[in-house]
Every structure is written in C-alpha cells, then in structure tokens.
Amino acid sequence: MMATIADWAAVGCLLVGALLSFAAGVGLIRFPDLLSRMHTAAKPQVLGLLLILVGIGIRLAPEPRVGVLVLIALFQILTVPVASHIAARAAYRTGRIRRDLISVDELQAELDSAEAAAQPDPGPGRN
Amino acid sequence: MTSMIVRAPLHWLAAQLPTVLWLTTMWVLLWGDLAIGTIIAGAVVASLCYAAARLPVIPVRLRFRPLRVLRLASAIGLDLLTSSVRVAFHVLWRPRQVRGAIVEVPMRTDSDFLLAMTSSALSLVTGSVVIELNRSEGVVYVHGLPIESERAVARLRRQARTTEELFAHAFGTSEDIAKFEHEAEGTDRKEER
C-alpha cells in the first residue's frame, strides 16, 4: 500500500517536473528578449529539475545514492541565480535589451547620473 | 571583504574545519557509501585540496535560527512554485507581449553575506532577476516580469524587501538585525513622505 502511494507520488513529481522543464524550454524560444528568457531559465527550470530529482529520490529512497541527488539540487539552487544574474547584467551593460519591452527602468536613470557625475572618466562610472 | 590575519595555527585550523568537513561530506555523498575508508579518504583529499589551493579563510558572521530558516525556506518554496507556474503560463499565453520593468530596491542590510543570499534568492522568487547590485549604496536592481502598472512595481519592491527581511531574521547576527530594524524605520519614514 505504502509502496503504491510512493510510486504515484514519484510519478506525479516526475510528470510535473517534466512539464515545467518543457515550459522552460519553450520559454527560451518564445520569449522575445534575454531578460525574460532569464526568468524561464531561473524559475520553472529549477523547480522542474527539483521535482524530477524528488521523483527519482522517492523511487531510490533507501539507497545511499540519494545523496548525489541532494548535491545536484543544492548546486542547482546555488548556481542558477548567479548565472542568470551575470547573463542579465552583461546583456544590460552591452545594450542587448529590448527597450520597448521595459515599462519602467530605474537603473538607466541611475547610470546616467553616475556617468554625469564622473564626466572626465569615460565608461560606466562604477561597478 | 577584510583580509584574514592568521593569529595562531589553532585558530586557523578551527576556521578551516567547516570547509574541510563540508568537502568530506560531499566526497562521501558522491561515493554513495558511508564506509570508514571513504570518510578517511575524503578527509585526506579535502585537507590536501584545501592546503594546495590555499583558500583564504573568510570570517563568516552569520547566525542560524532554525525556526526562522524554516519559515524562510517555506516562503521561498511557495514563491518558487507560484512564480514557476506564472512564468510557465506566460510562456504559453502571449509571450511576445509580456512587458517587464527594472526596479530599484534599496536594501537595508549591510552584511555581505545577507546581501549575496538575498540577491540570489530574488532570482528564484516571483517575477524577478537581479541585474545589478550597487554594493556601496546597498541597492539592487531587479527585473520583474509581468509588470504593466505602478502597482506591480510597488508589489515587486515590497516582495524583494520581504525576502530581505526573512533572510536578515534567519541568518543575521543580532547586530545585523538591530541595524536592519534601524534602517527599516528610516526607509519607512522616507516612503511615507
């Protein structure tokens, strides 16, 4: 009985995880600019992978190799936000964003005033 | 970050112990069995790596409050779920018309660790990717996804600040929290004006 419940839970996790990963993949193609693509890479992708790992973990449960799954999940959570931050930052700094898709941009105003303050020094003022 | 002054060998050993323990744990997890031999081999490899890489000892000033951490984890988990579903929805429903906004969020903590944790967590919670972090002034710039109105901007800012608050209370030292409360009062007053 317990085994059946665990199996169904595993199936559910795997299916939902696969769906979310699929949505993330489709998002990479369908979203128009890099900043919104970073959202799909950072959120549904992470949750999708986590759910798939949980699904596998339930099936493997008593095995000690579940530890590897925990490590994968941990490093995914630690690295993906940093990666999406760096990609978004580089895109913004090199001007590869679609202005028409951004309704409010408080960073541009800040960078402009920083540049005006550091006039003799060319380039984007500070880090 | 301040450079570490090594006072005594014992002090240095105590400071590197957590890293070595963590590396050993990872080694054991990767091997997938908890035999004594694996643990010893892991400890040896970890110490060798540590010594060879000459990793700096970074003084970690954090506290760990289990209940608050639990609350933080559940809040982030729930947020990750809703934001994933929301982004997935926008993928399927008119993705080319989704407009975002880049919002300035002043942070109230002054701890490097808390800032780093908060900004990476912000990428996982509803509708935001951190684009830029101004360390000297403690301001992060967050890109929010489905944002059309001023109200959505305010909501994003509020959410970023809630995340920060959760982190400060979960991991901050009492000093950090005192500073945080102080700053929070100041910014709240500024907002009211």
pLDDT at B37 over 70: yes
Q: Is residue A119 part of a domain?
A: no
Question: Which of A63, A85, A105 has its CB closest to that of B130?
Answer: A85
Local confidence band at B38 (pLDDT 50, 70, 90 cut-offs): confident
Interface membership of B78 toward A (CB under 8 Å): no
**Which has the higher per-residue pLDDT, B2 or A37?**
A37
pLDDT at B193 over 50: no
Whether residue A27 and residue B96 make contact (CB cut-off 8 A), yes or no, is no
Question: Which of B88, B91, B99 has its CB closest to that of A102?
Answer: B99
Q: Is residue A125 part of a domain?
A: no
pLDDT in tens, A114-125: 777 766 545 454
Strand partners, B105: B140
Q: Is residue A114 part of a domain?
A: no
* Mean pLDDT lowest among A28-37, B23-32, B58-67, B115-124: B58-67
Q: Which residues of A27-37 are buried (b: 16+ CB within 10 A; e: fewer)?
A: beebbebbbbb
pLDDT at B32 over 70: yes
The token pair that represents B87 in the structure block: 């982004």
* Mean pLDDT lowest among A88-92, B106-110, B123-127, B169-173: B123-127
**Which has the higher per-residue pLDDT, A126 or B116?**
B116
CA pseudo-torsion sign B48, B54, B59, B60: negative
Q: Is residue A107 part of a domain?
A: no
Alpha helix positions (H), chain A: 2-30, 34-42, 44-60, 66-93, 106-117
Q: Is residue A122 part of a domain?
A: no
Domain total in chain A: 1
Q: Is residue A113 part of a domain?
A: no
What pLDDT sits at residue A64?
75
What pLDDT sits at residue A125?
46
Strand partners, B139: B106, B134
pLDDT in tens, B48-84: 888 888 777 777 777 788 888 888 889 888 888 888 8
Whether residue B32 and residue A92 make contact (CB cut-off 8 A), yes or no, is no
User: Tokens 């970073």 correspond to what residue?
Assistant: A38
Cβ pair B16, B50 in contact under 8 A: yes
* Cα of A1 to nearest chain B Cα, Å: 28
| Separation of alpha carbons A118 and B19, rounded Å | 42
User: Tokens 């007053």 correspond to what residue?
Assistant: B189
pLDDT in tens, A48-86: 999 999 999 988 877 777 888 888 998 888 888 888 888
The token pair that represents B189 in the structure block: 């007053």
pLDDT at B124 over 80: no
Strand partners, B134: B139
Return residues 83-112 of A near B (CB < 8 Å). 84-85, 88-89, 92, 101-108, 110
Burial class (CB in 10 A: 0-12, 13-18, 19+), A12: middle
The domain segmentation of chain B, as residue ranges, is 2-53, 66-192
CA pseudo-torsion sign B108, B155, A105, A46: positive
Q: Is residue A74 part of a domain?
A: yes
A46: containing domain:
2-98
Q: Is residue A8 part of a domain?
A: yes
User: Tokens 């973990």 correspond to what residue?
Assistant: A57
| Separation of alpha carbons A68 and A64, rounded Å | 8
What pLDDT sits at residue B1?
43
Please state, rounded to an integer, the average pLDDT across all residues of chain B. 78
Q: Is A68 helix (H, G, I), strand (E, B) or coil?
A: helix
